[in-house]
Every structure is written in C-alpha cells, then in structure tokens.
Structure 1
Amino acid sequence: MGVLIFVSFAILLILTVPIGIALGLSAVIALLIDGSIPVEFIIKELTTSTNSFPLLAIPFFILAGEIMGKGGISIRLIAVAESLVGSVTGGLAMTAIVTSMFFAAISGSGPATVAAVGGLMIPAMVKKGYDIKFSTAVIASAGSIGVIIPPSIPMVMYGVSGSVSIGDMFMAGIVPGIMVGLGLMVYAYYYSKKAGYKGSTDKISFSRILKQVWLAKWSLLIPVIILGGIYGGIFTPTEAAAIAVFIGFIIGAFVYRELKFKDISDIFIDSALMTATILVIVGSATGFGKLLAMEQIPIKIADYMLSLSSEPFIIILLIIVLLLIVGCFMDTIAAIIILTPILLPIATLVGFEPVHFGIIMIVSLAIGFITPPVGVNLFVGSSISGVSMESLSKAIVPFIISMIFILLVISFIPGLSLLFLD
C-alpha cells in the first residue's frame, strides 16, 4: 500500500492536482486497489482530524490578518519601519523587510504578508527607480518571515501534530524570525549599494521614530497583547487568535476608521476560502499520514536515516535537505502534518529539543514559499508586480541562499531558539 500511495501521489502532483485533493485522492486510490481498509477511513479522517480546539486558532488568525491588512495597519507599520531604516542605503528595500517583520507578528501567514506589504511597497520601490524584479523578490522573500515570527499558522500545526506547546513554539520563533529578516537585509543592502539605490534624505532621529511609533501604537500593541497574554498564561493561543480578531476590528473600524462596512463581506469570504483550503489539506494530509504510519513507513525511514550515520550533525543536515526539497513541491501545512510524526522522533533521538526542531522544520519549509515550482509567495508577488515567474525565480536565488545560511546557524545554535523558554 505504501508504494501505491506514493506512486499515485506523484502522478497526481505531475498532473498539477491541488495538494489537498492529491493527498486525499492518492489515499483513496491506494485503499481501493489494496482493499484491506474501507474507503470510509479517509472520509472519517476528513472530519475527525479537524475537530480540534487548537486548530480553531487557524481561521481566527487568518481572519485577523485580513482585517488588519484592510484596516490601515499596514500603512502605519510601513511608516514606523521607514523611520527606522529608510535613510540607509536601499532604504525602501530595508523598509519593506522590516515592515514584513512587523506584519508577521500579526498575520501568521506568508502569502498574507506578501499581499499586505507588497501591494503598497512594490509600486513605491519601482517609482523610486528600484528594479522591479529585485523589488518583488524582496517582498516575496520577506513574506516568508510571516510563518517564523509568531503568531504562525504552521507553528499551530506543528504543535498539534507533534504534541508540542504552541505557546513555546511562538516564543521560540522570535529570535530566528528576526535573524532571517536581518539576513535578507544584508543582501538587500549589498545589492542596493551596487545598484546605487540610496536611502531617503531624512536622517534617523529619535524624535521622528518616537512620533511614528506613537502614531502606530495601536498596531504595534497587537503582537504585544497576543504574545504577552499567551506567555503570561492569561489565555491560550486559540483564545489569543480570537482576541486578535476583536482588537484588529476595533482598531481598524473605530480607531483608524479605515475598515469600512462594505469591506466586511469580502474579508469574511476571503478568510473562509483560505480556511476551507487549509482544512481540506489538514484532513487529507492526516488521513495520508495515518496510512503511512499503518504501513510503518515512518519507522522504516527513521531506521534508514539512522543507518546512514549516528552523528547528530549529519542527521540534521539530511533532514534539512529533505525539508528543502519537500518545500519545493508540497504545501507547508501538508508537509508538517505528514513529516512531523516521521522526523520528530529521529530528531529527539539524536538530541534535538522538540521546540528547537520545530523551528528548524518551519524555517526550512518557509524557504519553500520562495522556491519554484510551488513557491506561493512568488505567485502572490508576481500577481502584484506583473514580473514573470521565470524572472522572479532567478532574482530570488540570493535571498534563498541567505535564508539557508541563517537556517544552518539556527540549527546548530539551539540557544537562539530556546532563549525565551525556561
């Protein structure tokens, strides 16, 4: 049955069947041909796997991201970022990355971050003379930080799949997320220096920064409330997601007054479509993963990897390579659900903390947001700027290299991820 599952899944991917449908359909095909397990098994998994309280955080964080994206929060975050780094060489590129880091602390989604920040920053960068391919690559790569800096939808999925504290995952993602952002800024600075992209004429001043921070205080307060409440034990990550929706709505509609009544229906429709897509993937991937477990495929993969080497350094490198390859072809959430039960026991066996390994896994798969052919952030960026996928795929390569370097640093210095944990 294991062979049937993988062969049918590979064929469906080649035929460009959506990942959620491909996972479920390949499991159904394997069950029909094998005949030892009724097809109703998959139907049951589609419903029972989504009946989980922690998973309620996903639709709430999606809804919160949509509300905040249309409620004037993005503009104010850009103003804060520009006051901090706008006068540096490549100021607008730096501003785009820092803004993405701010928005990542609100949205929990890579594509949502690209859409919210890119819609404003790409036209502004092009207007100032920045190369459109470079501008789009900056936004697409910075959007990947959306799933690393908490709150993060993939972190919720990893916590559920690996029975790991979601609150601990959120706290562990802060330093790695900042490091990824700084790594992207280093390359953006180098490219901007070479291309002659200067910063703004306004010098960095404490009074100007303080003014912009004050104007954006409500926007900046959201991640503080979310993370402070979770880590302070005031509410769970799921409850924090609901609170984020409430706060985002109040700020967008009544404080900034930029969230209009006519926007509400579009926000709910977009959020519902994204949530439905994710839940189909969750249900299909869970059924797919359980069939693999019944066939003892995770155990066989673990035994094979451990037979190659007993050195933790080599094992984690093999896992990272696997995750980078998987990220090129598979949706992040599906990959987490399927691979966590396989890879987490291997990682813990060679001495990696579950929370630290979760960060390694999520940063590795986050790189998949900007690697073709699946690269969701590339498609979102391309739709905003009009740059072809082929051109964008070439422009993104230096950013991918930068992220891989930071990934290796995070992987072999556990303290960076575990800094805020007891």
Structure 2
Amino acid sequence: MFFAAISGSGAATTAAVGSSLVPELRKKGYEPASAASLIAASGTIGVVIPPSVPMIIYAVIMLVIATSAVLSWTLSTNPFVIMLLVVAVILLTGVFIETASALIILTPVLLPLVTQLGIDPIHFGLIIVVGLAIGMITPPVAINLYVASSVTQLPLERITRAIIPYLLGLISVLLLVVYVPILLGLSG
C-alpha cells in the first residue's frame, strides 16, 4: 500500500512491488506465473489510494459536472439492477479503454444516473475507479499484466491464465464495494 500511495499508478505499483517481491515469492516456492499474476492483481490498489491519477481525474470531472446541466436517464426502476448494469458497463469499458480515458467518457454519463438513484458521488467514484482498475489485468489493455510480464520475463499468455482467480476475487470485491454501502444505507 505504501508504493500505491506514492505512485498513484497501477503500473508503477506493479513494477515497484514486483521488482522486489517476485524474487522472494520464487524463493518461497511460488510458481512463476502465480507470482506474476499476484503482483499484477496487487498493482490495482495503486489507483485506489489517493492521490491517484484516476481519483484526481474523477474529482475534476465532478467539478465540471457540478457546473453544467446534466441529462439523466433510467433503465429500470430497481436500483440493484441498475447498479449491476452500471458495473457491467464499467467492467466492459475497462477491458478496452485505459482508466483515465474511461473515466472521462463514463463519468458524465453514469454519475447523473447513479445520483438519481441516491448513490453518493464519492461512493460512485470508488465504484468506478475500482471497476476500471480491474481492467488493468484484463486483456487486451491489461497494463499491469504487461508490466508483470516484463518484470518476471514470463509470457503474457501464461500470466493471463494465472490471473483468473485474482480477477474473480477483484470482481467480488467490486460487488461488495457497490452493494454493502447501499444495503447498510451508507450511500446517499
């Protein structure tokens, strides 16, 4: 977490932690692809801890949105279904577009919708940043996998197969980030 707080970047966190951690993991008997996928997945925390680049971009976008008229739209009357669709859009976008660009594209579209549902804008900021951070380990963009591949000298294909359990874990965490505050009445 220390490296994440300093860098604000998933790739930088993956490189910094991976350079020192992978040799130790190998000494402890970790399979190389598992060690590489572990550091790639761990690097996603780099954009969650402020002052991260995506969080700063999100704050700027919020200021722009606050000063302009927004068009809101709805897909359903059930907030749980709508949030699941929002998460799906965020995850799918994160697969194909890097984090900063995806934030700039998605925030003006999704923020009015989720605020209309009563979701706190700060809570949504965490949702969108965590969701897009998952894209850092999902090809084809997958910047953290490329960094892990470079650090460990393992082929990207080998790390991609080994990352699947971490990917499922991160998606589970994202769903907890989305729904626990809503269910506890802490968002909005």
- CA shift for structure 1 position 123: 1.8
1:141 to 2:41 alignment: yes
List runs of 5+ in structure 2 lacking aligned partners.
Answer: 65-69
3-state SS of 1:372 partner: coil
2:76 to 305, 309, 333: 309
Which of these residues, 143, 146, 170, is aligned with residue 403 of structure 1?
170
Alignment partner, residue 38 of structure 1: none
1:363 aligned to 130, 136, 150, which one? 130
Structure 2 counterpart of 1:318, from 85, 97, 102: 85
Count, aligned residues: 180
How big is each residue's C-alpha offset from its partner over 1:354-406, in whole Å with a ceiling of 9 and x where there is no partner? 11011000000010011111000000000111111111111001101111111
Runs of at least 4 residues of structure 1 off by over 2 A?
A: none
Q: CA deviation at 1:129?
A: 2.1
Give the corresponding residue for 2:99.
Answer: 332
- Using the TM superposition, give the Cα deviation of residue 125 of structure 1 relative to its aligned residue in structure 2, in angstroms: 1.5
Check whether the contact 1:111–1:376 (CA below 8 A) recurs between aligned residues: yes
Q: Which of 129, 135, 154 is residue 54 of structure 2 equivalent to? A: 154
> 2:12 aligned with 1:112, yes or no?
yes
| CA deviation profile, 1:126-160 (whole Å, cap 9, x unmatched) | 13321000000110000000011222110000000
User: Which deviations, in whole Å up to 9, do the C-alpha atoms of 1:206-253 show, x marking residues without a partner?
Assistant: xxxxxxxxxxxxxxxxxxxxxxxxxxxxxxxxxxxxxxxxxxxxxxxx
CA distance in 1, matches of 2:76, 2:85: 10
Which residue matches 2:67?
A: none
Identity %: 49
**Partner secondary structure for residue 414 of structure 1:** helix
Match of 1:394 among 158, 161, 168: 161
Partner of 1:347: 114
| Structure 1 residue 413 displacement after superposition | 2.1
- Paired with 1:393 and 1:342, the residues of 2 have a C-alpha distance of 31
CA contact (8 A) 1:104 1:151 kept: no
Match 2:3 to one of 91, 103, 125: 103
Amino acid at match of 2:4: A
The answer (yes or no) to whether the contact 1:143–1:377 under 8 Å persists in 2 is: yes
**What is the one-letter code of the residue matched to 2:81?**
I
Q: CA deviation at 1:414?
A: 2.3
For the pair shown, which has the larger CA radius of gyration, 1 or 2?
1
The offset of 1:315, in angstroms, is 0.7
